[in-house]
Amino acid sequence: MKHIAIIGGSGFVGTRLIEELNRVKDTALRNIDKRQSVFHPDITHLGNVLDPEGLVPLLRGADAVVLLAAEHRDDVSPTTLYYEVNVEGMRNTLAAMDAAGIRRIVFTSSVAVYGLDKPCPDENYPPDPFNHYGRSKWQAEQVLREWAASRPDASVDVVRPTVIFGERNRGNVYNLLRQIASGRFLMVGSGKNKKSMAYVGNIAAFISHLLKGERKAGYRVWNYADGPDFDMNRLVEHVGHVLERPVPHVRIPYPVGLLGGRMCDLLAFVSQRPLPVSGVRVRKFCATTQFDATRARTTGGFRPPYTLEEGLERTLRYEFVSPPGDGHIFETE
């Protein structure tokens, strides 16, 4: 029996990962989160990466840890929370693992460590994060690498997913899909910028694939994205095709859109209320964000269970054709 502790498994990716791992024979799961899981309360224990002493008894007996817990939204305030949770949380988790005698960890980092408008970086591309989230994830990776370097028997897999979408998610991809579906979508820029994306069912399957393998000492980094990448024009057309709805063709020049985003930043600052549009989100929308995930797709026999088109169609039909109506959603970026 393999015992796996998931830290931060009550959220969007963790919930899907637990569903995936529940299908793996001879695997026992434990979810450790500061929030109760709506879907898996029977295996959930309340704990926090900011409380290392509290983590130790919750980790005892585990063979591997999956660290999902993170501060990741664009509008986290104060910004020191990114570093407290993502960096100090990593240190606390590793200290608790040492106390519990665990040497295997899968950590979900992010392609945000590469920055914007990079030429399809692979895992060897030099980090150049442009925001606090990316910087804190890169610092967390450095803490993890230092830990692994001093423990020859450590088995570390760092997964850097691109933007993740799927059913029940209320992040940037959902907001985009909702705008297109409503007919109120306005394209900012030419729409020729390409986006790497990852369907939640595939990222959960990939993490499960890593955990099902035999424990191997070493430090490994994996970009994850589902190809082939869509540009924004093709994405909009695909959404219209699946939902059988007309696609709006109004375009706003990038400088005008960015100015509007910065005005929204000012309004949000004055009102102390976050707005759905911001300068950062306009920049991210118009940026080319492609990442080379060849290693994940060609190493060790992993095959994603869904194509990108299938993941988008499953999400669109779930959210806009036959929504469940139970109100259970996940707020992410």
pLDDT at 38 over 60: yes
What average pLDDT does the segment 152-158 reach? 97
Q: Encoding tokens for residue 176?
A: 């985009």
Calculate the alpha carbon distances from 162 to 126, 250, 297 in Å.
Answer: 16, 27, 14
All domains of the chain, ordered by start, with CATH?
A: 2-166+196-228+290-306 (3.40.50.720)
Question: 249-272 pLDDT, tens per residue?
Answer: 788 999 999 999 999 999 999 998
Average model confidence (pLDDT) across the chain: 93
pLDDT at 308 over 90: yes
- Where helices occur in the chain by DSSP H, the ranges are 12-21, 52-59, 80-83, 89-100, 132-149, 172-182, 200-212, 232-243, 254-271, 279-286, 294-298, 308-316
Calpha distance 198→28 (Å, rounded): 26
Sign of the Cα torsion 181, 185, 188, 191 reads positive
Catalytic residues: 133
Calpha distance 311→332 (Å, rounded): 18
Classified as helix, coil or strand, 82 is helix
Predicted local distance difference test score (pLDDT) of residue 333: 54
Question: 192-206 pLDDT, tens per residue?
Answer: 999 999 999 999 999
Calpha distance 136→10 (Å, rounded): 21
pLDDT at 231 over 90: yes
